[in-house]
Structure 1
Amino acid sequence: MDTEASKEKSSSFNDAEIESVESSHFAPPKYISWIYKLDSFGIETRGIERVSTEERRQIAANTTRTSQFIHVIGLWIAACGGLTSMSSFFLPTLLFGLNLRDSLVSGLISMILGCLVPAYCSTMGPKSGCRQMVGARFLFGQWGVKFVSLICIVGGIGWSVVNCVLGGQLLSAINNDIPLAVGIVVIGVISLIVAVFGIRVLLRFQTITSIPLIIASILFYVVVCKKIDYIHDSNSLVKEAGYSGLTTRGNWLSFFTIGYSVTATWGSGASDYYILFPEDTPSYQIFIVTFLGISVPTTFVAIVGTICGSIAYAYKPWNDAYASFGVGGLINECFKPWGRFGSFVVVLLYISLICNNIMNTYSIAFEFQLIDRKLAVVPRWCWAVLVTVIYIVLSVAGKEHFSTILSNFLPMLGYWISMYITILLEENIMFRSTVKTKQLHHREFNEKASDHWNYNWRNWNKPSGITMGLAAASAFLIGVAGAVLGMNQVYFRGPIAKKIGDYGGDVGFWLCGIFTGVTYPLLRYLELRKFGR
């Protein structure tokens, strides 16, 4: 039977506090209880605590499912329909030397494939009422999830650095008197303000701002397509570069990993934004809304970004702007013929970076709370402040190396998310859907066990009621070996990647997924037979 959470506050960190199962919030020690009084100002103090079924039913009674879906659609449009998603798709021609056709095929196929990851992960939110990485405890155990959380923190900070540096480039390109650091700090501060007020404010903010961002992206199509004749020159220059067929395929594969990582990495926090949905929300509805919410706006901006990058490869004014101010300078140069109105549109695109960054700032805070029990009682907004300071400092330090950060950082995220989704899929399909498995999980199942993939979500913070995580951790490490064999990065090129053309080809996320997928079922079966959970 599940233990009841202690209702008493204590000055020490006792098991009743930390292992509360049904309560909405942790009981904080007295010496930090004052921090929780900020919720009277509207700041969300709820952290990794599960939103109970009863709470979600109350929320559902006061709102409609349609309005909930409208908010998450607005959320994804604002987060994915702007410069953050677009930024990677400037690179296939400018950085990898691919013609427009190869750029679009590699980028769009990989991006859509990546959308399947957060679409599936998001279905866990309504069923569990748990944040994505809290649910990962049922795979990696109480200790293994700490390492996974650290990876998520690094990934979220990396994306935040990308947003901040690109934002700094944009403002500096509009006005040379504005230092890069100013654009970076503005993004960080606004993102923090919205993030600390919690998921309800975040959803409303994203929904409202999604409308002008769509208009700005349409206007970007207009200015870019005026130079569409330069595509032919760009393709000719790529052909003159004389890459061999194998080298081109290697570059194609390397960009494929980047395109996949742009959308797949949303999987590390996708369910965070569905924890207020009632438990009986059909999973197919959540899957479809998330898949379309991410894929449609990302496809829209990916195409124009790819075309713009291809044109810039041949059109000297745009190429010079890219060389001087990076992607931000290129975007500003595109809008220069429109004068002040063009600068206004660039500012709207700048706001899209804030929309994406808000979600990073919001979700990263939960990963800090999963690292250690004592950290869990520190309110989420405190971690949001800390992470904002960290990525602002890193952004200022790396502000001159945007393309390098982007091309080297994204594939690493693609590797880990491939291993995570492989483990999650196999656990749900092979080990959480049969009566026989239910009998094996004897410590996780009781009369209160959920029928949704056979998880007892009430055990979200009860170490004895979840898996030990030995199988997942071992399969993850084996997957890392696959990533090392196939990765193609400046700092390391795997033996398999080296064989694909002059510059190598990145197949790391394929190999790590295969290595993990082959080994996890056997390891998990042995873990179940040995420990029964």
Structure 2
Amino acid sequence: MKSSTPVSSCKEIECESNEIVTPSVPRYIKWIYRLDSFGIETRGIERVSPAERDEIAMSTSPYIQTLQVIGLWWAACGGLTSMSSFFLPTLVYSLSLRDSLISGLISMIIGCLVPAYCSMLGPKSGLRQMCQARFLFGQWGVKVVSLIVLVGGIGWSVVNCVLGGEILRAINGSISLAVGIVVIAVISLVVAVFGIRVLLKFQTILSVPILVATILFYVVVCKKTGHLGDANQMIKDMDIAYSDRAGNWISFFTVGYSVTATWGSGASDYYILFPENTSSTKVFFITFLGIAIPTTFVAVAGTICGTIALSYKPWNDAYNNLGTGGLIMETFSSWGTFGKFVTVLLFLSLICNNIMNTYSMAFEFQLIDQHLVFVPRWIWALVVTAIYIILSLLGREHFSTILGNFLPMLGYWISMYIALLLEENLIFRSSVKVKRLHEKEFDCDDNTTTPFYTMYNWNNWNRPRGRTLGLAACLAFCCGVAGAVVGMNQVYYRGPLADKIGQYGGDIGMFLAFGFAGIAYPPLRYWELKRFRR
């Protein structure tokens, strides 16, 4: 696929609509687009038209497309980024192995439903996930949402960089944590700037060694399962009250959910090259299984390893002295040089996860202001890389704290987003009767019932008057924020409702955010439709 620059796409929009006056590309940045000839993808949030996707489909086997997406998800989800969260339930939340697995796996599977649902609109729209959100939040509301997604992506990148630095430092003590952080960031940037097609191939190739490394990690971890009984006994001896244990269980449930649910903010980014007639059911299950299977695979290994580390002194010392990276390196210590090699393979999984963050985050800048679309995506990828390198260097000694406090915050916002998206699609865009209320958004004169994904006029992706104002979504989102605030349980703040769950509180902000936003949206949306008819 030839990358189309914002120059051509914006001229087309000017001709079709008088609602946005798009200035021409400034001369001083036109030279940037010449880099497109070297393979660097300059295309930003512009829609990939059905004709372009059909052309790609003619030159690419659908089986290859599917295989590449499966490889993409396995490389990103089947490695250390996902695994790192599942070291926490025993070491941080003092949960037994049984409680850790139940809380972590159930919440993680539920979280997979979010990106699976979001991904279905990728082939139908040809738009990035947050560009689609314009049809929900409107031209101005989506700017706030894009900032939230940007913060979340940067947070995940900080997690990847700090963990990568810990691993390199554990492999070779002469390598500083800062060097490891920079290595992760630079490699991620190089791959991300070349665009989605290079990204898909890169991830698919690396998914194989990452899978092999994870299997070998199981081998070394299972050799020490005799210490699981000691760990469970230690937890029993802690004499934690039932209410306190329940609070910890709920808090980790939010962490497990956030590990997979947060992919929803960019899930459809990786399906924009699929033909428009691609089965939504197929896309849903590819995404759901593509995230759920590898994440489950590493989640079980991480949970077992973290439980053993509670009672097995060599692993516990490694964790306390060198963090999660030190713990992983210690598990392979008996294998000598080969063990270090396997650890390096697991290190690659952090790069794969970080590439996707770096790639998708660049689009959020272009949604903040229409003039920023003229700056090619790879420039924004460079900017965002510089930001998370600095933040990683500042927070490099506090990995567990970053992970435990940061992930639940992402769970709050994605819960509100999926609640609003579900209600918009299933209630307000599911019948001909409701369809007529959107007359300003649609240019259809048929009287047939159509599936929700055809209830959007995707040609209006950059025409504000052809979409909802977003008032209902923004107000409902604010209600969801109120629910998150009263239910959150963080080091820096504990909501009044969360405070009632045990001595240490329980994080129920995710549930309340979903509920508050979901209850508020239907009446607000009915009012918006009646008042503005779009």
Normalising by the smaller structure, the TM-score range is over 0.9
Contact persistence 1:426–1:521 (CA under 8 A): yes
Change over 3 Å in CA distance of 1:17–1:145 after alignment to 2: farther
Q: Residues of 1 paired with 2:124 and 2:421: CA distance?
A: 15
Aligned twin of 1:137? 134
SS in 1 for 2:332: helix
- TM-score, normalised via structure 2 length: 0.95
Contact persistence 2:86–2:104 (CA under 8 A): yes
Aligned twin of 2:438? 441
Across the two proteins, how many residue pairs are aligned to each other? 524
Where do residues 348-367 of structure 1 align in structure 2 (5 Å cutoff)?
A: 348-367=345-364
What's the CA shift for 1:31?
2.3
Aligned twin of 1:294? 291
What is the CA deviation profile of residues 290-317 of structure 1, one whole-angstrom value per residue up to 9, with x for unaligned ones?
A: 0000000000000000000000000011
Where do residues 168-207 of structure 1 align in structure 2 (5 Å cutoff)?
A: 168-207=165-204
Where do residues 308-323 of structure 1 align in structure 2 (5 Å cutoff)?
A: 308-323=305-320
Aligned twin of 2:205? 208
Aligned twin of 1:99? 96
Aligned twin of 1:499? 500
Please say which of residues 31-40 and 356-365 is displaced more in the overlay. 31-40
Q: Given residue 114 of structure 1, which amino acid in structure 2 is its aligned partner? A: G
Q: Does 1:510 align with 2:503?
A: no
| Matched-pair identity in % | 67
Aligned twin of 1:463? 464
Q: Given residue 500 of structure 1, which amino acid in structure 2 is its aligned partner? A: I
Q: Residues of 1 paired with 2:156 and 2:425: CA distance?
A: 29
SS in 1 for 2:527: helix
SS in 1 for 2:440: coil
Q: Residues of 2 paired with 1:486 and 1:474: CA distance?
A: 19
Q: Residues of 1 paired with 2:26 and 2:229: CA distance?
A: 66
What's the CA shift for 1:435?
1.0
Aligned twin of 2:488? 487
Change over 3 Å in CA distance of 1:205–1:18 after alignment to 2: farther
Where do residues 340-419 of structure 1 align in structure 2 (5 Å cutoff)?
A: 340-419=337-416
Change over 3 Å in CA distance of 1:19–1:178 after alignment to 2: farther
Q: Does 1:112 align with 2:112?
A: no
Change over 3 Å in CA distance of 1:529–1:334 after alignment to 2: same
Q: Given residue 525 of structure 2, which amino acid in structure 1 is its aligned partner? A: R
Q: Residues of 2 paired with 1:418 and 1:69: CA distance?
A: 28
SS in 2 for 1:307: helix
Q: Given residue 172 of structure 2, which amino acid in structure 1 is its aligned partner? A: N
Contact persistence 2:6–2:46 (CA under 8 A): no
Q: Residues of 2 paired with 1:183 and 1:427: CA distance?
A: 44
Contact persistence 1:18–1:26 (CA under 8 A): no
SS in 1 for 2:260: helix
SS in 1 for 2:258: helix
Q: Residues of 1 paired with 2:309 and 2:264: CA distance?
A: 32
Aligned twin of 2:66? 69
Aligned twin of 1:274? 271
Q: Does 1:476 align with 2:477?
A: yes
Q: Does 1:430 align with 2:427?
A: yes
Aligned twin of 2:418? 421
What's the CA shift for 1:447?
3.4
Q: Given residue 458 of structure 1, which amino acid in structure 2 is its aligned partner? A: N
Q: Does 1:48 align with 2:49?
A: no
What's the CA shift for 1:30?
2.4
What is the CA deviation profile of residues 153-207 of structure 1, one whole-angstrom value per residue up to 9, with x for unaligned ones?
A: 0000000000000000001011111000111000000000000000000000000
Q: Residues of 1 paired with 2:12 and 2:58: CA distance?
A: 35
Q: Residues of 1 paired with 2:172 and 2:17: CA distance?
A: 53
Q: Given residue 491 of structure 2, which amino acid in structure 1 is its aligned partner? A: V
What's the CA shift for 1:32?
1.1
Contact persistence 1:162–1:406 (CA under 8 A): yes
Aligned twin of 2:254? 257
Q: Residues of 2 paired with 1:69 and 1:426: CA distance?
A: 29
What is the CA deviation profile of residues 191-225 of structure 1, one whole-angstrom value per residue up to 9, with x for unaligned ones?
A: 00000000000000000000000000000000011
Change over 3 Å in CA distance of 1:61–1:240 after alignment to 2: same
CA RMSD of aligned residues (A): 2.0
- TM-score, normalised via structure 1 length: 0.96
Change over 3 Å in CA distance of 1:363–1:20 after alignment to 2: farther
SS in 1 for 2:137: helix
Contact persistence 1:234–1:311 (CA under 8 A): yes
What is the CA deviation profile of residues 464-483 of structure 1, one whole-angstrom value per residue up to 9, with x for unaligned ones?
A: 10100000000000000000
Q: Given residue 501 of structure 2, which amino acid in structure 1 is its aligned partner? A: I
Q: Residues of 1 paired with 2:415 and 2:339: CA distance?
A: 40
Q: Given residue 121 of structure 2, which amino acid in structure 1 is its aligned partner? A: M
Structure 1 gaps of 5+ residues are none
Contact persistence 1:428–1:453 (CA under 8 A): no
Q: Residues of 1 paired with 2:240 and 2:16: CA distance?
A: 59
What's the CA shift for 1:438?
1.1
Q: Given residue 478 of structure 1, which amino acid in structure 2 is its aligned partner? A: C
What's the CA shift for 1:236?
0.3
SS in 2 for 1:495: coil
Aligned twin of 1:530? 531
Q: Residues of 2 paired with 1:317 and 1:394: CA distance?
A: 31
Change over 3 Å in CA distance of 1:26–1:313 after alignment to 2: farther
